[in-house]
Amino acid sequence: MPDPILKLDAVTTNYLTLRGWVHAAENVNFEIERGEAMGLVGESGCGKTTIALSILKILPPGAKIRRGKILFDGKDLVPLSDDAMRKEIRWKGISIVFQGAMNAMNPVFKVGDQVVEAIRLHEPDVSKDDAIRRTEALFEMVGVESSRVSNYPHEFSGGMRQRALIAMALACNPKLLIADEPGTALDVIVQAQVLQLMRDLKEKLGLSMMMISHDLSIVAEVCEKLTIMYAGNVAEYGDVKSVFKEPLHPYTQGLMRAFPTIKGERQKLVSIPGQPPDLLNPPTGCRFHPRCPYAMDICKKENPQLKKQGSGEHYVACHLY
Ligand code: SF4
């Protein structure tokens, strides 16, 4: 029997603004098995980060999980208080590496001290000396010399900061690591090294991961499963091999055509026409219908639900299927 570490069941998170509710994530469903890495992919503003913040319940003021369940290790996080989330879930259960390695650290504290503080805040019984030793070991594990714990963030390169942030996220041995755009703002060489590190850590620690990215190639490098989001909805979901081999949703097909392939014949890159919708007033029916070349009458009226395709793990939300 599959035993997911994380299961989202019809999760709907909206932002209340002066102009009304922004429907940022609606009816989002997916699962991450233990030890598995899942990529969450889509254009900016499609709801990826909203989902990550919903899982950790660190949404900004005005945002609300209005429906659905977030089952982590079998327990629904939605009704949990902020206190319970802090004591039981954040850092120890689920940890996050925020996007923007250059800005995610406090510039006036030494990098090692920031990790030590995180350890002692969540595990008050750990002595300062033990926390320092753990931090040095974490630095070594992510490929940063342990002596660099006494450096300030401005003394680290972008790649080293990204590694230090990963070390910080692993400080309390989480079961699930969320990485929000881990390669953004890094040059391709450093990006490849960071992705290799994530793969190694996943293998070594048996970590489950959710990797948020707008870049399909990053997800293909690290993940076994893929969820494609469009305008707050899950468009397609399945194992990476099936989705790459046979993308079913017209939006996924459009994304694939917009990325260069390093195998097979050279192909002209084609962008998806139009713009993502305003989520204050999303289109009726399928939210992709104003941009979809296959849109039918039903697409304007009914929002398609995820349906299983074939015998493997492959689901698509589209009236064509
Ligand atoms: Fe296109 Fe209709 Fe499928 Fe939406 S449901 S992706 S509009 S064919």
Least confident of 68-77, 137-146, 238-247, 263-272: 263-272
Q: Which of 252, 287, 294, 309 to mutate to test the pocket of ligand 1 (most atoms within 8 A of CB)?
A: 294
Give the confidence band of 261 by pLDDT, cuts at 50, 70, 90.
Answer: low
146 C-alpha to ligand 1 centroid (Å): 52
277 C-alpha to ligand 1 centroid (Å): 15
What pLDDT shows up at residue 10?
A: 95
pTM: 0.89
275 C-alpha to ligand 1 centroid (Å): 16
Report yes or no: 172 and 91 within 8 Å, Cβ to Cβ: yes
**Distance from C-alpha of 121 to C-alpha of 103, rounded to nearest angstrom:** 21
Q: What strand order describes the sheet that includes 225-230?
A: 94-97, 176-180, 208-213, 37-41, 225-230, 233-239, 314-316, 307-308
What's the mean pLDDT when you consider all of the chain? 90
**Distance from C-alpha of 168 to C-alpha of 207, rounded to nearest angstrom:** 15
Q: Which numbered atom of ligand 1 lies nearest the CA of 299?
A: 2
229 C-alpha to ligand 1 centroid (Å): 14
Please determine, for residue 263, whether its predicted confidence score (pLDDT) is greater than 80. no
Please determine, for residue 224, whether its predicted confidence score (pLDDT) is greater than 70. yes
What pLDDT shows up at residue 274?
A: 83
What pLDDT shows up at residue 198?
A: 85
What pLDDT shows up at residue 185?
A: 65
Q: Which of 249, 251, 319, 321 to mutate to test the pocket of ligand 1 (most atoms within 8 A of CB)?
A: 319
Q: Which of 299, 300, 302 to mutate to test the pocket of ligand 1 (most atoms within 8 A of CB)?
A: 299
What pLDDT shows up at residue 5?
A: 95
Q: Which of 228, 303, 318, 321 to mutate to test the pocket of ligand 1 (most atoms within 8 A of CB)?
A: 318
**Distance from C-alpha of 213 to C-alpha of 230, rounded to nearest angstrom:** 13
What pLDDT shows up at residue 84?
A: 94
Give the confidence band of 204 by pLDDT, cuts at 50, 70, 90.
Answer: confident
Q: Which numbered atom of ligand 1 lies nearest the CA of 249?
A: 6
pLDDT in tens, 91-120: 999 999 887 766 778 889 999 999 999 899
What pLDDT shows up at residue 264?
A: 64
254 C-alpha to ligand 1 centroid (Å): 12
Average pLDDT over residues 121-142: 91
Q: Give residue ranges with CB within 6 A of ligand 1.
A: 249-250, 286, 288-289, 292, 294-296, 299, 304, 318-320
Helix (H) or strand (E) holding 191: helix 188-205
pLDDT in tens, 271-300: 788 888 999 999 999 999 999 999 999 999
What pLDDT shows up at residue 311?
A: 79
What pLDDT shows up at residue 135?
A: 94
What pLDDT shows up at residue 101?
A: 62
- Triad 215, 175, 135: Cα angle to 5°: 90
Please determine, for residue 266, whether its predicted confidence score (pLDDT) is greater than 80. no
Please compute Rg for the chain using Cα positions.
20
- Fill in the amino acid letter for 300: K
pLDDT in tens, 136-181: 999 998 889 999 999 999 998 888 888 888 898 998 889 999 998 8
**Of the candidates 204, 172, 202, 206, which has an alpha carbon nearest to the alpha carbon of residue 93?**
172
273 C-alpha to ligand 1 centroid (Å): 14
